[in-house]
Amino acid sequence: MTKLTASEIAQMHPETLALSYGFDPWLSEGAVKPPVFLTSTFAFKCAADGKQFFAWAHGEGSPPPRREQGLIYSRLNNPNLEIFEDRVALWEGMKDACSFASGMAAIATTLLATHQPGDEMIVCAPVYGGTDAFALHFLHRFGIAAHFVPAGIDAPALAEALITARTRSIFIESPANPNNRLTDIGRMKELARRHAPAAPGAETGRILVIVDNTMAGPVFAQPAKVGADIVLYSATKFIGGHSDVVGGVALANDPVLLAAIARHRALFGGMPNPHTAWLLTRSLETLKIRAEQQQRNAVAVAAFLAQHPKVRRVGFLGLLTPDDPEYAIYRKQHSGPGSLISCYLHGGEKEAFALLDHLKVFKLAVSLGSTESLAQHPAAMTHSGLAPADKLLGGVTDDLVRLSIGIENHDDLIWDLQQALDQVAPVENPAPAACLVGVT
């Protein structure tokens, strides 16, 4: 077996490289798959190596690329983490990544690494409940203010009105969690450049565009290609994809940003353990085929829900038409609609709970992007910590059920939803059917 050249690697697709990139079998007794490097520390060949490796870790001198700086201690680097980071960066088309023990560890570490007391950030709502709490409450204790605007077509204009000399970042989930609203990342990037012109790589005055791409996953959306400076993931979701591992990722192209995030990860100790990184690497091998099957199922399920008389509205990117305000954003930022569906029922919490309690194939559980289909009630579960005004701002209403579509047969999923909807009592004088489809 001969090695691929750099030019050959550059021509290949992520789903091919996900099975081999970043791992040399002959460094591990010829093993076809990377072993799990369950070690806390690594031996140096000589004392001079130890001195050099630590100097590089501290940023002294002219360090070589991260992967060539020498192994020291698994809080700093480990082969399993590095293999996973190399491969997940391929999906985004980005230069490098830092892996974490959870999505919240990735988000919290990234925001603390890139913000200082006195900074401000603009957040497109809704976002994941943990992100909302961290930005609104935790960062506030350290003098970092978060200003929220509703996600969607008007977000750039609303954000521009809030930009000040203190603005350090614009934080976006697109699609937004849990209502699937789209925000134009490219327009936000133009806004950031216009209000904070800086030389390439300069940090002073620069406004960062930070995108949490968990809801879309890396197969159908690559935010860096349309302007994101930093891309974040809960790797628990599509990347892990089996509901058996918790992890997170932060990716960037700017080496200054990557170094800052890596330094803070080492200080906070938020890296994944080697076995977690190994599991995430394993899951990348099937990421595309899982995501494509989930998407095919979601298209069928969304079409069924859109015509059901007990459903008020369906938020699914695949239902957008050229007449929808967010359709142009979808075409620019996505290669497919993915597999997350926001289902708004006629009624409220009572009707939503009735649907959830009668499902038989769907699992009543939070999370998303897994092989099994999941259903949950954001207002009472993942986003229950939001203040009522913040729920209203983000469209997190009592009639909303979020569905994560898995890899089962779509006919069985539709049957399950039908029999559960049969148990939902009809609502008198429901909202008009004109609101049925699209992300509105």
What confidence tens digit (pLDDT) does each residue in 338-376 have? 999 999 999 999 999 999 999 999 999 999 999 999 999
Pairing of strands 120-125, 248-252: unpaired
Non-local (6+) Cβ contacts of 218 within 8 A are 88, 91, 92, 233, 238, 239, 287
pLDDT band at 197 (very low <50, low <70, confident <90, very high): low
Strand partners, 149: 124
Q: How far is CA 253 from CA 57, 99, 229, 256, 334, in A?
A: 19, 15, 7, 9, 20
Q: DSSP assignment of 293-327, as one string? A: HHHHHHHHHHHHHHT-TTEEEEE-GGG--TTSTTH
Nearest to 210 by CA among 133, 132, 124: 124
- Using a pLDDT cut of 70, give the percent of the chain over it: 95
Instruction: Spell out the domain ranges in the chain.
Output: 74-282, 287-435
**How far is it, in rounded angstroms, from Cα 374 to Cα 361?**
9
What confidence tens digit (pLDDT) does each residue in 271-289 have? 999 999 999 999 999 999 9
In the structure encoding, which two tokens stand for residue 234, read together? 């809960």
Pairing of strands 120-125, 311-315: unpaired
At residue 374, the 3 state secondary structure works out as strand
In the structure encoding, which two tokens stand for residue 2, read together? 């001969």
For 287-435, CATH number out of 3.90.1150.10, 3.30.420.40, 1.10.3720.10, 3.40.190.10 equals: 3.90.1150.10
**How far is it, in rounded angstroms, from Cα 193 to Cα 167?**
12
Q: Distance of alpha carbon 2 from its chain centroid, rounded?
A: 35
**How far is it, in rounded angstroms, from Cα 216 to Cα 234?**
11
pLDDT at position 122 is: 98
pLDDT band at 19 (very low <50, low <70, confident <90, very high): confident
pLDDT at position 202 is: 44
Q: DSSP assignment of 383-411, as one string? A: TTTS-HHHHHHHT--TTEEEEE--SS-HH
**How far is it, in rounded angstroms, from Cα 53 to Cα 435?**
60
Nearest to 101 by CA among 248, 231, 243: 248
Q: What is the mean pLDDT of residues 300-328?
A: 97
* pLDDT above 90: residue 4: no
What confidence tens digit (pLDDT) does each residue in 138-169 have? 999 999 999 999 999 999 999 999 999 999 99
Q: What's the CATH code, domain 74-282?
A: 3.40.640.10
Check the CA dihedral 50-51-55-56 and report its sign: negative
Q: What is the mean pLDDT of residues 218-223?
A: 96
Tell me the average pLDDT of the chain.
Answer: 92
What confidence tens digit (pLDDT) does each residue in 21-58 have? 888 877 887 888 899 999 999 999 999 999 999 998 88
What's the CA angle centered on 368, arms 390 and 176, to 5 degrees? Answer: 35
What confidence tens digit (pLDDT) does each residue in 397-429 have? 999 999 999 999 999 999 999 999 999 999 877
Q: Which residue has the higher pLDDT, 362 or 13?
A: 362
Single pTM value for the model = 0.91
* pLDDT above 50: residue 60: yes
- The sheet carrying 208-212 orders its strands as 96-100, 248-252, 230-234, 208-212, 167-173, 120-125, 145-150
DSSP annotation of 253 reads S
Q: Which residue has the higher pLDDT, 62 or 414?
A: 414
End-to-end distance of the chain based on CA atoms, in angstroms? 53
Q: Which residue has the higher pLDDT, 434 or 430?
A: 430
What's the CA angle centered on 260, arms 214 and 34, to 5 degrees? Answer: 60
**How far is it, in rounded angstroms, from Cα 353 to Cα 143?**
40
Q: What is the mean pLDDT of residues 105-120?
A: 97
Q: Distance of alpha carbon 214 from its chain centroid, rounded?
A: 2
287-435 matches 74-282 in CATH topology: no
